[in-house]
Homo-oligomer: A and B are copies of this chain.
Amino acid sequence: MIVSKIDLVSSAETSHESAEPLESRGLSDRAIVRAAREIIAEVGVGGLTMRRLSTELGVALGATYHHVATKHGLLMLVGKDLYSEVTPPERMEGPWQDQLKTVMLNLASIVGCHPGMANFMMLHVDELIPVDLNVMVRDTLLEAGFSERSIAAVLSAFFFYVAGMMSTGSVVGPTATSIRGQNLMALFEDGLDVIVAGAEARLAEDRKQKRARR
């Protein structure tokens, strides 16, 4: 465990990737994604325009298209960038309930700051979600004793709940809204707890079945 952490740090500090130019003069994908994220954070995906993005970057429309072939491709880059910021697996500790809640709250807070991205990110989870995150979440549940089928069911419940909540409005961050006086953030956590309780019940069943089979 400690080894992998050290490895991560050192490789991150010393990585001078082979022949990749550090700052290919002119536009870089990194700069484009950064600008796109800023625009989305400010006016949402609906307000993100290839023209506006180009203006923000100080280039002509065609230049942007030379680096990212399509708006869909641009959003894929942004989505991958956002997913990559979700709590890194190595730092997780404690019971599986807390781990799952932390990941979901983290995901919600990141996506919540970028209105309109939730949908797109959920529509392409499979292609965008970092393998680390996926593996770690599944491992956590496996270690806790969940069956394969239960893992699928529980993750389905969690992910789509977060997706639905995020699609409906900014829940987290400075723009957190409220519904009929209800604090949306509190409501979000309450719903999360309901699903956690459901997962616990599922786990109890899984363990009972495992014992019966022995």
Q: Which residues of A contact B (CB under 8 A)?
A: 119, 122-123, 125-126, 149, 152-154, 156-157, 159-165, 167-169, 179-180, 182, 187-188, 190-202
Contacts and interface: CB of A to CB of B under 8 A. Distances in A.
Contact of A160 (B153, B161, B193, B201): B161
A128 to B, nearest CB: 13
A187 B160 CA distance: 11
A182 B163 CA distance: 19
B187 A153 contact: yes
B126 A169 contact: no
B182 A123 contact: no
Nearest to A168: B122
Given A123-B168, A156-B187, 20 more contacts: A119-B167, A122-B168, A123-B169, A126-B179, A153-B187, A153-B193, A154-B194, A156-B191, A157-B191, A157-B194, A157-B195, A163-B163, A164-B165, A194-B199, A195-B198, A196-B198, A197-B197, A198-B198, A198-B201, A201-B201
Interface centre among A126, A157, A165, A194 (most CB of B within 10 A): A194
Contacts of A163: 160, 163-165, 167-168
A162 to B, nearest CB: 7
Contact of A200 (B152, B160, B180, B201): B201
A195 B194 CA distance: 7
A190 B153 contact: yes
23 contacts: A122-B168, A123-B167, A123-B169, A126-B180, A149-B190, A153-B190, A153-B194, A156-B165, A156-B190, A160-B160, A160-B162, A160-B168, A161-B161, A162-B164, A163-B168, A164-B165, A193-B198, A194-B202, A196-B198, A197-B197, A197-B198, A197-B202, A198-B201
